[in-house]
Structure 1
Amino acid sequence: MRQLLRFIGQRLYTTWCTFWFVSPFFYTYPLQWVLARKPSRHPWLHKINRFWSSSAIFMWGMPVRIVRKNQLPAGQPCVYVANHSSYIDIPLLFRTIPGFLNIIGKDTLAKTPLWGPIFGSAYITVNRNSAVSRGRSMVLAKQSLAAGRSVVIFPEGTISEKPGEQMMPFKDGAFQLAIAAGVPLVPVSMPLNHRFMPDVGGLRIRYTPLRIVLHEPIPTQGLTMADVPTLKQRAHDLIANEFQPEAAGLPPAFSWRPTPPTTQATEPQPEQRTNDQAELSLPNS
């Protein structure tokens, strides 16, 4: 009975979170569609996306701890590099990082019904399997920084196979961009997102407090492309140092049926073990 009640509670919470994630978008969709039509309106579109993200996280009822290691440079655009572990990474970044952000996301996001065209018009999309698309995204990102608009990049390029435990190898693009533009690089750790809404088949939502850490900005002025490996390793280490071993791995799927106890194999008796060994030592017929 306890297992069944927990299952029902989990299903109700999943439904609640899904409703409050989807409903603000539908309420604001007509306005988003209008604002997406002209680039001059995109700052207002980003404010709506920030409201959407903040309201959803608030209604989910999860405490979010924001840790800022140092003040961000006032009026200075930055390149933010964050680990990628969950579907809620972008909403949490939008809620936390101030200003009119740009973000580089995979091109499949732009193909999402309704929201996709809006995302594709206001932010940067990239097909990581295409050298042309990757080059285009870096050009647009550099233009964004030159216009005073910070850029968020997931240097892993995809959601980690072991979220909260081990990151995928970092790609060079974000670090080359920061050095070329001469702007600070800000590593961002999100060590618990995968415990709430992991990248798994279906929808698996679990209540869990969240934590996001904005590390101290790393200046890049005076660096050259030869410094990319060192800069990349430094950012990787800062992000990974916030991971929590006890939170590693994905939350298990939940079922209303009790999990059957696992049976352990019995230790063979001495006589049986001897017969088995003798059988294994016989030559093949």
Structure 2
Amino acid sequence: MTKNAATGPLPRTGGDTGGDTEGVTEGDTRAERLAAGGAEAAGRRVRPAFRLLVAAWLRRRFWRTVLFLTGGLTVKGKLPKSGCVVVANHSSHADTAVLLATLGAARAPRVAAAADYWFRNRVRRLVCSVLAAAFPVRRHGGGYSDLQDIAGPMLRAGHAVVVFPEGTRGGGEGGDVGEFRRGAVELAVSNGVPVVPVALSGTARLLPKGGRLRPHAVRVRIGRPLTTPDADTARSAVLELLAECRPRDSRVRRRIARLALSWRGLGLVAAWSFTEALSWPLLPELALAVLCVAAPRAGLRLTVSAAVASVAGGLVALALYSGTSVELPQPLTTSRMHATAQKEIRLEGARAVRHQPASGIPYKVYAAEAGRAGVPAGAWVLRSTAARGQRIVGVGLVLTLIGVLSQRWRRFFPQYLIFVGVAFTALFALVISAWR
């Protein structure tokens, strides 16, 4: 992933770019030079070297796998069949990884990166070159010359060269895309290749500026090559593409996600799991199925909270039923469940709780019968953690993964809630019918 300053040195005015009109006559317009260069490239059918194509394909597979695991990637559009300069909005270090996963390997994309940041030591230089296909460009003095000297031959050899014209990471997710510098356009025109606008949506949430990596879906829109490119036209094209690729979401999911990410959500899951081990009829997995999928970032802490609270509730139930006449209400349980749990505990002691995850008998039934049988608290906590806690953690992590992988379909979250409700109702009915 390259530093945002990949285009830092690109000039806004003339200077070493030759300005907007220097050396250009009426018969030698930008459009004509671009068309001539494109025709020449098409006639030669230039392609990057085979080893570079293989490296680009491997990088593309690698980053696509990473993005699949962190929320998914959707792409619309493709690059022209010739060298080109790709200009994109820039809001995250993840932008480079997304572009390498998105742009066709047939163009073997290369990315301009800040020489003073990504190439200042051997380790960074190696990582940046291998994983990000980057080449160094000075941010202060001579940057455009670097770009021409290094990227020019790449463009003529059929590569796609990625430049972030904003020159720094910004918001990038909407109308706050910064001003585009002219260097990328001048590079394309001087080498007779097209400028291709690309919009990236979701990377600022996937890897925020100054933040940590967190699951989020990413969308990419590749626009049509610009026939008469300039910095303002390129920026407008990127903004139009951004408007197209904003993800659709559900208001219900957003509200539930805010709850899941708050301390109230954590407390809700803990209270739910604790009381379920005593009397509450609904499994804590039901709460996790809603909250973890709505906000997978909170999945791990919600899952751990549910597991700890459930075992704690089982310990309290054990104490309440030990040598007392306490009878807490236990709806949606049957006498056959109690008889089976009582028999297993009489034969195996605390080890009997290992049957709970697969038997369909609620954890509170085992806790009550273990208390009546005088099972030692230490052994009960140990066995409950291995059985009940392990199941909750396993289910919670699976639900969190589902939340990560299904982010592109967040607009269907209300339908998912209906499905979860119907599925749990059917499961409860099936289990109670089997034990009646």
Say yes or no: does 1:234 pair with 2:194.
Answer: no
SS at match of 1:233: helix
- Matching residue of 2:173: 164
- Matching residue of 1:9: none
- Larger helix proportion, structure 1 or 2? 2
Contact in 1 for aligned 2:79/2:103 (Cα 8 Å):
no
SS at match of 1:105: strand
- Matching residue of 2:222: 214
Query: Aligned equivalents of 1:110 and 1:54: distance in 2?
Result: 25
Report the TM-score when normalising by structure 1: 0.61
Paired residues in the alignment total 200
Q: Structure 2 vs 1, CA of residues 245 and 181 (structure 1 numbering), >3 Å: closer, same or farther?
A: same
- Matching residue of 1:57: 67
- What do the CA deviations read for 1:4-44 (whole angstroms, capped 9, x no partner)? xxxxxxxxxxxxxxxxxxxxxxxxxxxxxxxxxxx984443
- What do the CA deviations read for 1:161-201 (whole angstroms, capped 9, x no partner)? x331312221111000111111111000012211211112x
User: Runs of 5+ in structure 1 lacking a partner?
Assistant: 1-38, 221-227, 260-285
- Out of 95, 107, 125, which is 1:116 matched to? 125
> For residue 164 of structure 1, what is the amino acid of its counterpart?
E
Per-residue deviation at 1:239?
A: 1.0
Per-residue deviation at 1:97?
A: 0.5
> For residue 232 of structure 1, what is the amino acid of its counterpart?
A
Higher relative contact order (CA 8 A, sep 6+): 1
Contact in 1 for aligned 2:64/2:73 (Cα 8 Å):
no
- Matching residue of 1:178: 188
- What do the CA deviations read for 1:90-141 (whole angstroms, capped 9, x no partner)? 1110111012111111221234763522534853211212x22331122211
> For residue 218 of structure 1, what is the amino acid of its counterpart?
L
> For residue 116 of structure 1, what is the amino acid of its counterpart?
R
Query: Aligned equivalents of 2:166 and 2:84: distance in 1?
Result: 18
Contact in 2 for aligned 1:53/1:91 (Cα 8 Å):
yes
Report the TM-score when normalising by structure 2: 0.41
> For residue 208 of structure 2, what is the amino acid of its counterpart?
P
Q: Percent identity?
A: 25
- Matching residue of 2:91: 85
- Out of 73, 88, 94, which is 2:80 matched to? 73
Query: Aligned equivalents of 1:50 and 1:246: distance in 2?
Result: 26
Query: Aligned equivalents of 1:114 and 1:153: distance in 2?
Result: 23
Query: Aligned equivalents of 2:55 and 2:239: distance in 1?
Result: 32
After TM superposition, the structure 1 = structure 2 runs for residues 258-273 of structure 1, keeping only pairs within 5 Å, are none
Query: Aligned equivalents of 1:171 and 1:148: distance in 2?
Result: 23
Per-residue deviation at 1:235?
A: 1.2
How large is the Cα RMSD of the aligned pairs? 3.1
Query: Aligned equivalents of 2:221 and 2:247: distance in 1?
Result: 17
